[in-house]
Structure 1
Amino acid sequence: MTKIKISAVSYTNTLPFLQGIRASSLMDQIDLSLDYPAECARKVIANEVDMGIIPVAALLEIEDAHIIGDYCIGTEGRVDSVFIFSDKPIEEIDSIRLDYQSKTSNGLARILLKHYWKRDVRIVQEGEADAYVLIGDRTFGKKDEVTFAYDLGYYWKQFTGLPFAFAVWVANKELPPVFVTGFNRALANGITHAADVIEGLPRYQDFDYLDYLTNSLDFHLTDKKREAISRYLELYKGL
């Protein structure tokens, strides 16, 4: 039997999903790899895998994209793991360094800078800048170490009134309906027991895993989050 190749993010925010998948009967049907978000996207775009949890910005690069299931990496407001960090207030920054692991969050930062904060800033891939984008586990415990920490989930909500979906499960081809149903059920089971993944994780000062997984993150791909994805993609295309 040919296994379905899946790329998943290795961040804490995906652990509830991985927990559900690994506890399901699907494991003998899949070949699972763990990557950072931009690499997940690259693999799906390049057809190196059949599906992955990919940054929503990458939807524009997949010719035959199929969003799989009813779940995502999302938030209803503050997300607590996607930031612009700076030693200057946002009104004074003239340059920003992007995060090589990111795709959607880099775009979100640029959208908010342009449309919400009305800043025309220079984009820096490497080297010194007034501010920088940082995502995922690398942000844990760091927001109190910098002068200014701008949570991009929070400011997107302020800008649009909408929640946000950073990543969705996407296949680059039609997958068997039975598999899709089982996969969605596995995701549901994983997020139902999200708190179970906390044990054994590294500890950070002033960071609460339970609050992060059950309050900051919202895993349901609602109609409002789908609306947010459409709004984001339209703004992203204009950057």
Structure 2
Amino acid sequence: MKDIKLALVGYLNTKPFEYGLKTSLSKEIYSIYYDNPAYCVKLYENDKVDVALVPVGALSSIGEYKIITDSCIGCDDHVRTVVLMSNEKIEDCNHVVLDSHSRTSAILTRILLKEYWDTNPRYSTVNIDEIEELESEEAVLMIGDKVFENEKKYKYSYDLGYYWKKLTGLPFAYAVWIAKGHVSQGAIDQLSIDLNNGINSIDQVIEEQRIKEPLHDLESYYRDNIDYVLDTEKRKALDLYLTKMSELELVHD
């Protein structure tokens, strides 16, 4: 079997995937590139990798791909690490700062603000790491590990997984595994086995990460917030999200 070059988002929520790949008996076949969601898409589009975990908001702009495996980064309610934060109620915010690292969450924010909260704020996109404090009537989208560092900093926090469920009644898939057409079925099958082994090793992942991240409630995060199975309901949610994205003319936004 040929080596598989793959891109993996370097967040805490992907640690079960990483664990499965690194403890696999076939681990020598994997060359893993770590980065933020947006750059994982670039690696895939520029043919630097054959397989990637990509944010679903990028699927409409990617040329050649097929969704592989029944694994994803998803949730069935609160996700905890995709949130809008503000010091005023979100209905009173007229400017929303979006995180440049994930187009999926930025688009989800715009869908929810329009369809759930019925607001139409001004948007800007920045590297959230450069934000020091918010102005009056301003909200910020935060994703990934930086949420843990900031979740007590602001008066209001709106979990987008929770509000998507309230709007649609569906779970959500934030990122899915995709592959180029030349990747063999044998390689995909092996990857699926290794990812599932990682998902089924949550206890070991928690123990490893607890040493590195002692201040985070990782057990609740991995067991209650993140759902790694790309099931029928999440596939429905993915289709609905892409439809809403198109209806709001956000495909190339």
* TM-based fold match above 0.5: yes
Question: Which of the residues 199, 202, 213 maps onto 1:202?
Answer: 213
1:21-36 equivalences under 5 Å are 21-36=21-36
Q: Percent identity?
A: 37
Question: Which of the residues 154, 166, 169 maps onto 2:162?
Answer: 154
CA contact (8 A) 2:6 2:50 kept: yes
- TM-score (norm: length of structure 1): 0.94
Alignment partners' CA distance in 2, 1:37 and 1:51: 13
Task: Measure how far apart 1:5 and its partner are.
Answer: 1.1
- TM-score (norm: length of structure 2): 0.89
Alignment partners' CA distance in 2, 1:78 and 1:30: 32
Alignment partners' CA distance in 1, 2:177 and 2:233: 17
CA contact (8 A) 2:56 2:174 kept: yes
Task: Measure how far apart 1:86 and its partner are.
Answer: 0.5
Secondary structure in 2 aligned to 1:190?
A: helix
Alignment partners' CA distance in 2, 1:33 and 1:43: 9
Alignment partners' CA distance in 1, 2:149 and 2:123: 26
Alignment partners' CA distance in 2, 1:196 and 1:146: 33
Task: Measure how far apart 1:2 and its partner are.
Answer: 5.0
2:200 is aligned to: 192
Alignment partners' CA distance in 2, 1:105 and 1:4: 28
Q: Which amino acid aligns with 1:109?
A: T
Instruction: Identify the range of structure 1 (122-131 vs 61-70) with the bigger mean alpha-carbon deviation.
Output: 122-131
2:52 is aligned to: 52
Alignment partners' CA distance in 1, 2:71 and 2:149: 27
CA contact (8 A) 1:74 1:166 kept: yes
CA contact (8 A) 1:38 1:102 kept: yes
CA contact (8 A) 1:195 1:213 kept: no
Mark the runs of 5 or more structure 1 residues left unpaired by the alignment.
none
Alignment partners' CA distance in 2, 1:125 and 1:96: 9
The number of aligned residues is 237
CA contact (8 A) 1:45 1:172 kept: no
Q: Which amino acid aligns with 1:148?
A: Y
Q: Which amino acid aligns with 1:32?
A: I
Secondary structure in 2 aligned to 1:98?
A: strand
2:171 is aligned to: 163
Task: Measure how far apart 1:177 and its partner are.
Answer: 1.0
1:86 is aligned to: 86
CA contact (8 A) 2:96 2:122 kept: yes
Moved over 3 A (4+): 126-129
